[in-house]
Structure 1
Amino acid sequence: MTSTPELLRPGSYVYGTWHSRPDGQTLYDAVYGRPVAVLSSEGVDFAQALAYGRQKGAALRRSTFHERARALKALATYLMERKEDYYTLSLLTGATRRDSWVDIEGGIGTLFSYASMARRDLPDERFLPDGRVERLGREGTFVGRHLLVPREGVAVQINAYNFPVWGMLEKLAPAFIAGMPSLVKPAPQTAYLTERVVRDIVASGLLPEGALQLVSGDPGDLLDHLQEQDMVAFTGSAATAARLRVHPNIVARNVPFSTEADSLNASVLGLTVRPEDPEFKLYVKEVAREITGKAGQKCTAIRRAVVPRGLVEAVTEALRAELARVTVGDPARDDVRMGALVSVEQRERVRETLSSLQKEAQIVIGGERDLLGGDREKGAFLDPTVLLCPSPLTATGPHELEAFGPVATLLPYDTLDDAIELAKMGRGSLAGSVITHDRAEATELVLGMASTHGRLLVLNRDDARESTGHGSPLPQLLHGGPGRAGGGAELGGLAGVRHHMNKVAVQADPTTLMAVTREFVPGAEVREDVVHPFRKSFDEIQVGDSLLTHRRTVTEADIVNFAGLTGDHFYAHVDEIGAREGIFGKRVAHGYFLISAAAGQFVSAAPGPVLANYGLENLRFVEPVGIGDTIRTRLTCKRKIRKDLRPGETRPTGVVEWRAEITNQDGALVATYDILTLVERARDAYDPLPEPPESEQVIPDAAQA
């Protein structure tokens, strides 16, 4: 039996202080129906909270992507050390340990993921160059490029009750990396868990002041005070989203409004699948897991199970057997696999929807079972329920009504076109899945369903071992969907970061654009020094540092020797007659010979700060080089990327990206590419202190130990 803590009074954290009241809305635990918390946001000045976030957000915007990433990683580590406190509170929401794992550690894992993505894929800057430099004039003196900069407002995040930790952190992570402060408004039913995590975040001191605010309780007139630089991200029902989207102030100020709405997600079992196939068992287990996970309270859960008509009976019996093994009761017990819905009110809403669904479908799996702990009346328990709609193409209820609980409807189909049509009748979904081992069938279903889905999983025997399942959003991939699903675009890797930034086109001369973006722009002024660039450390090298090499005339011996060395005897290089009849009209040097020859021109051979070649990117061969042509290379520092020290590393380094341009005797470009070099740098404040040599380590004596 879950123990009842002292009555909680979740507070709001706004304009740098905590606000709470002794009275307000009483919340009840989902398992036994006992009072668990009192919630109120009375007294919160929402205009002041937004103004505070905008003002204090300046410090966050001044930090770089890498600095934000380090803070996010440190925060994730800090929260992970305190996760057991969150698990204890999560039991009161009706969630089992497994359900809570997705919410708690899944949410913290999202912080880790965004910290990693930002360090790996974003520059150590507070802006993001986007796309390539566009040449806007014939002579190359006028160019343009897009930049992404943080919006100077507050990201208002209105979350649903079903994932009180993950729902907050999956929005906070990309907004924070983008440099935008967050104001979180959790759903009241589980706000006490969200508040507990925010208390730890505030206590950690790891985020800049104003980067995170929390409103526990009614949002009051919050939306009335939004301004053009603010944003709103909403998770919840499609009906509520539609109402909020047309709020007069949001419309008048054109405030970006992103929705991740509950949707009638479908899972399709392929026509080629037979009951004895592994895919049949995978399908049954996936549907059962989505029905019972979080007691069906997932915006990505399978609501419509689309199965071949000839397999309806087999799927029904297999589902009945699978669901019979699901024990329901107090989630604190080890022998319970499914807990309660979040509240009695939510259970009654599901029952009402279930009753409406039965106008076009009948229950084939259901009925009350014995509870293993919990209170059947005061708690919010609802047993797993499966319906069958015999004529789904002409029905409306299964495609319009969502029972946000442990409920799914079987929809029989006869052809793949019918299956696709049924999936699309949900009018837009966050997630869909296709279970088949037939690649042609999978292709037809995926491409047929793609326009109305945000994410599609193809599940079969080959990927089942690693698959995260139908209902699991991942930080690297889009979490959102068109139509009924809201049209939002949460997560999606760096797309979630870009969503919180303003895109501006900057037009200038190449040298000025290089100064603004701190990345080399073709045509910009370069700096040539008597010191070879490879003799400079990471800290000494500057963007625009350049070297123009000596010349080299390509000979027939070069081509023959390179062919012999590599085994590349392509006719254009070694066959005089074939080459004459080819597109070049003559024998030409190997493209990879040109790269090798260029390296010989610009490399400084002696040991120095350049430690290794780190890679080569964006290679293009522009013009052929024949026997007797003369080449030279210009090497220019394009950008610099500081690397963190990894465990076990003692030598601080950074990556320098160089633009290499090989030209011929006429000055024409014959090849261009980017070279990455690993370069030694000085130790800085972000590097861990080096371990002292063993001889210098102080070993405490037994008494001190």
Structure 2
Amino acid sequence: METATAIQTVPSYIRDAWWTPADGAAATEVRDASTGEVIARVSAEGLDLAAAVDHGRSVGQTELGRLTTHGRALLLRDLAQYLNGRSEELYAVSAQTGATRIDSMVDIDGGIGVLFTLSSKGRRELPNANVIVEGPVEVLSKDGSFIGEHIHTRIPGVAVQVNAFNFPVWGMLEKFAPAFIAGVPTIVKPATPTGFLAEAAVRAMVESGILPDGSLQLVSGPARDLLDRLDYRDMVSFTGSASTATLLRNHPNVAHGGVRFMAETDSLNAAILGPDAVPGTPEFDAFIKSAATEMTVKAGQKCTAIRRVIVPNPVRHAVIDAIGARLRERVVIGDPRADGVTMGALASLEQLADVRAAVRAMLAAGGELAYGTLDAPAVTRADGEVSGVEQGAFMSPVLLNWPDSGSPAVHTLEAFGPVAGVLGYDMHDGDASEAVRLAALGAGSLVATVCTNDPEVARQLVTGIAAHHGRILLLNREDARSSTGHGAPVPHLVHGGPGRAGGGEELGGIRSVWHHMQRTALQGSPNMLTALTGEWHTGADRVIAGDPEFGGVPGAVHPFRKSLAELRIGDAFASGLRQVELADISAFAEGTGDLFYAHTDADAAARNPFFPGIVAHGYLLVSWAAGLFVEPAPGPVLANYGLESLRFLTPVAAGDSIRVTLTAKRITPRVTDDYGEVCWDAVLNNQDGATVATYDVLTLVEKVDTLYA
């Protein structure tokens, strides 16, 4: 075995260059989790953290600010595609952390998947801009000259991301992706035992040439004074132990200096079996599979793993026997580089010692060993040989039975490894409140599974535990095969939980992007808010083509004749009036089959408190409006792909007339296409000027009119 002095020091990536400490710097040795071989040294001695923060705030902010949200989201897609091509390299490094190929898939492919998902959602759900409008406008004056709304803009500092040892790639990328889309530079601080894998991933990201300067930096090794360099402009996202999260929360720059702080910590997650899910049912089988899987994937080193298996007392021993049988049948412990191994080592010998100590404390507090052992297990070596004596951090899965389900130890102690405990509960006249009480004793968790095919049981359990959990998986025969599983958060949804789980959110679709942005209430005139947000507001100036009687300017070009290169926010069209006849209403009713009495029965319509008698169908009016505003000749408008926020406000009776005003409200060029999206503000008015309907029309428009020019 090589000596420690011959081992490479894991570098940091600071100010767009790789950095290693001087020879002789104090360093921590990192070992292969399976063999115990020293594979790296980790040190940040002499690293200028203040310079790293300054580089992010200056160069990183500037370079990311040159791009819009869509531009940054597109780079994420390119980065994900590039990393897919480097995944096998990362798999080889991941094996040194004790992770099996399936474990590595969860970490590496899961992280790459986050990049793809956030890239897609960013381009679909955010404007192609750096100012994001949130919610509707509030009119603050009678004449509409003073209005207010909320906007999101990126925070002006850096996002410091402190990650746990168990997911060195996924944990990094799920924080990096939303920060990058928001336009905030990232400083990654991985955990020392597996930081060499995070470094390998960062190296691949840098070598891709895709990332703007200053957008990503890596600190390999201790960074104890990093928070000293931060202020209210910056954000810290932490994943790890609850005790460390508490220390960071109490740092003066967090407690008093305004540093934004987000934490996701270990929690005592529960899986609850409903009383209907008895042995022989699909729910019982799915529950057993889920419990055994959560004990063994990543050797149980997951903040989302099931720690408390809460089951009806009549089936407690059947559950224990079934989980034990599945573990006995499925689990092969050993070096993940060996064929047939299904559970690898814990991340380090120190982690192994901590987990064994936690289990001993649970046994002393009343837990009973129902499956497994604390002795060193027989393991399969990389060469395929089986040995009972190894240098690696191997541990048998351990299942505990808790005769006293209310024992404080089971609800407060966590063994962060392949360990779970079984607790029993009783139903009382169909009341599942005891199971709810036991789940809540975890003092806040990331996720719970509720396994039942009884909707009433599900309702009781979910409404009872929802406020204590960040996520709940409803598991039954219908989704057992398609579910992503108890321990697999998805980037479309919020991840995080209350109380002990950290009280924060991450990995939450566009919500996770907003965590890196400041919400600001903006008040002013429609013209000023239009100029600042790039979105037209009612009352702002506009250039109107169409009927002069309703504001049309002679010679003004119909906005549907303009490509994106020519179209401007506020370009508008005003139609003339079209009268609605009773025959039109009757013909629409007959032609569509919409014979609702308000359109067909004069006596019944007259008794309706909302209508003056027979009224026109709302969809008739919307259809007529399209006929009033559409420019029929071929041109840069390629397609109408929908309506949003349609509201009918004033009924239209036979003899009334309608007209429409259409205004270019928001223009979103697509980065990768020759066209973009235009959102048009549409307002229907009657002959008296009353508003009949409001909605947004969505169209696809060429960037340059080439097809029909």
Normalising by the residue count of structure 1, what TM-score does the alignment of the two structures yield?
A: 0.94
Question: 1:609 is aligned with what amino acid?
Answer: P
Aligned to 2:493: 477
Aligned to 2:258: 254
Question: 1:46 is aligned with what amino acid?
Answer: L
Show CA shifts across 1:201-258 (max 9, x none): 1122211111011000011311111111011111100011111110122222121111
- Give the alignment partner of residue 409 of structure 2, picking from 384, 391, 397: 397
- Say whether the 8 Å CA contact 1:158–1:235 is kept in structure 2: yes
Structure 2 CA distance for aligned equivalents of residues 396 and 273 of structure 1 = 27
- Give the alignment partner of residue 602 of structure 2, picking from 559, 571, 576: 576
- Say whether the 8 Å CA contact 2:636–2:704 is kept in structure 1: no
Confirm whether residue 424 of structure 1 aligns to residue 446 of structure 2. Answer: no
- Say whether the 8 Å CA contact 2:612–2:653 is kept in structure 1: no
Question: 2:693 is aligned with what amino acid?
Answer: A
Confirm whether residue 526 of structure 1 aligns to residue 542 of structure 2. Answer: yes
Aligned to 2:648: 621
Structure 1 position 533, deviation (Å): 1.4
Structure 1 position 156, deviation (Å): 0.6
Confirm whether residue 371 of structure 1 aligns to residue 379 of structure 2. Answer: yes
Aligned to 1:660: 682
- Give the alignment partner of residue 343 of structure 2, picking from 322, 338, 347: 338
Aligned to 2:550: none
Q: 1:683 to 1:67 in 2, by over 3 A?
A: farther
Aligned to 2:697: 675
Aligned to 1:565: 591
Aligned to 1:696: none
Aligned to 2:202: 198
Which stretch shows the higher mean deviation, 127-136 or 366-375? 366-375
Aligned to 2:235: 231
Confirm whether residue 548 of structure 1 aligns to residue 574 of structure 2. Answer: yes
Structure 1 CA distance for aligned equivalents of residues 160 and 504 of structure 2 = 14
Aligned to 2:86: 82
- Say whether the 8 Å CA contact 2:71–2:671 is kept in structure 1: no
- Say whether the 8 Å CA contact 2:28–2:42 is kept in structure 1: yes
Confirm whether residue 65 of structure 1 aligns to residue 87 of structure 2. Answer: no
- Say whether the 8 Å CA contact 1:58–1:152 is kept in structure 2: no
Aligned ranges 1:587-626 → 2 under 5 Å: 587-626=614-653
Structure 1 CA distance for aligned equivalents of residues 67 and 163 of structure 2 = 27
- Say whether the 8 Å CA contact 2:70–2:671 is kept in structure 1: no
Structure 1 CA distance for aligned equivalents of residues 224 and 443 of structure 2 = 32
Which stretch shows the higher mean deviation, 21-30 or 333-342? 21-30
Aligned to 2:50: 47
Question: 1:287 is aligned with what amino acid?
Answer: A
- Say whether the 8 Å CA contact 1:61–1:150 is kept in structure 2: no
Aligned to 1:467: 483
Aligned to 1:701: none
Aligned to 1:697: none
Once the two structures are aligned, what percentage of the paired residues are identical? 50
Structure 2 CA distance for aligned equivalents of residues 424 and 463 of structure 1 = 25
| Number of aligned positions between the proteins | 676
Aligned to 1:694: none
CA RMSD, Structure 1 to Structure 2 (Å): 1.7
Structure 2 CA distance for aligned equivalents of residues 69 and 545 of structure 1 = 29
Q: Tell me the SS of whatever aligns to 2:9.
A: coil
Structure 1 position 644, deviation (Å): 5.2
Aligned to 1:96: 100
Structure 1 position 391, deviation (Å): 1.4
Structure 1 position 377, deviation (Å): 4.4
- Say whether the 8 Å CA contact 1:9–1:192 is kept in structure 2: no
Question: 1:682 is aligned with what amino acid?
Answer: V
Structure 1 CA distance for aligned equivalents of residues 481 and 634 of structure 2 = 48
- Give the alignment partner of residue 642 of structure 1, picking from 646, 657, 669: 669
Structure 2 CA distance for aligned equivalents of residues 610 and 218 of structure 1 = 57
- Say whether the 8 Å CA contact 1:118–1:177 is kept in structure 2: yes
Confirm whether residue 630 of structure 1 aligns to residue 652 of structure 2. Answer: no
Q: Tell me the SS of whatever aligns to 1:386.
A: strand
Aligned to 1:687: none
Aligned to 1:361: 367
Structure 2 CA distance for aligned equivalents of residues 510 and 362 of structure 1 = 69
Structure 1 position 608, deviation (Å): 1.6
Q: Tell me the SS of whatever aligns to 2:303.
A: coil
Structure 2 CA distance for aligned equivalents of residues 613 and 15 of structure 1 = 47
Structure 1 CA distance for aligned equivalents of residues 519 and 419 of structure 2 = 43
- Give the alignment partner of residue 393 of structure 2, picking from 370, 380, 383: 380
Question: 1:437 is aligned with what amino acid?
Answer: N
Q: Tell me the SS of whatever aligns to 1:479.
A: coil
Which stretch shows the higher mean deviation, 670-679 or 335-344? 670-679
- Say whether the 8 Å CA contact 1:182–1:213 is kept in structure 2: yes
Question: 2:589 is aligned with what amino acid?
Answer: A
Confirm whether residue 171 of structure 1 aligns to residue 193 of structure 2. Answer: no
- Give the alignment partner of residue 36 of structure 2, picking from 33, 36, 49: 33
Question: 1:372 is aligned with what amino acid?
Answer: T
Structure 2 CA distance for aligned equivalents of residues 141 and 683 of structure 1 = 36
Structure 1 position 593, deviation (Å): 1.1
Structure 1 position 682, deviation (Å): 3.0
Aligned to 1:129: 133
Structure 1 CA distance for aligned equivalents of residues 457 and 569 of structure 2 = 52
Question: 2:31 is aligned with what amino acid?
Answer: Y
Show CA shifts across 1:654-705 (max 9, x none): 2211111010111110111111112222399xxxxxxxxxxxxxxxxxxxxx
Structure 1 CA distance for aligned equivalents of residues 199 and 362 of structure 2 = 36
Structure 1 position 580, deviation (Å): 2.0
- Say whether the 8 Å CA contact 1:614–1:676 is kept in structure 2: yes
- Say whether the 8 Å CA contact 2:98–2:344 is kept in structure 1: yes
Structure 1 position 61, deviation (Å): 2.6
Q: Tell me the SS of whatever aligns to 2:232.
A: coil
- Give the alignment partner of residue 525 of structure 2, picking from 509, 527, 530: 509
Confirm whether residue 352 of structure 1 aligns to residue 357 of structure 2. Answer: yes
- Give the alignment partner of residue 503 of structure 2, picking from 487, 494, 500: 487
Structure 1 position 612, deviation (Å): 1.7
Which stretch shows the higher mean deviation, 309-318 or 529-538? 529-538
Question: 2:381 is aligned with what amino acid?
Answer: G
Structure 2: gaps of 5 or more residues? 546-555
Confirm whether residue 443 of structure 1 aligns to residue 470 of structure 2. Answer: no
Which stretch shows the higher mean deviation, 525-534 or 340-349? 525-534
- Say whether the 8 Å CA contact 1:8–1:192 is kept in structure 2: no
Aligned to 2:165: 161
Question: 2:366 is aligned with what amino acid?
Answer: E
Show CA shifts across 1:239-298 (max 9, x none): 111111101222221211110000000000111111010111111110000000100100
Question: 1:676 is aligned with what amino acid?
Answer: L
Show CA shifts across 1:398-423 (max 9, x none): 10000000000001110211111111
Structure 1 CA distance for aligned equivalents of residues 158 and 282 of structure 2 = 49
Structure 1 CA distance for aligned equivalents of residues 417 and 612 of structure 2 = 72
Show CA shifts across 1:513-564 (max 9, x none): 1111111111222112421111112322111110110111111121122112
Structure 1 position 16, deviation (Å): 2.2
- Say whether the 8 Å CA contact 2:268–2:411 is kept in structure 1: yes
- Say whether the 8 Å CA contact 2:636–2:705 is kept in structure 1: no
Structure 1 CA distance for aligned equivalents of residues 514 and 533 of structure 2 = 17
Question: 1:279 is aligned with what amino acid?
Answer: E
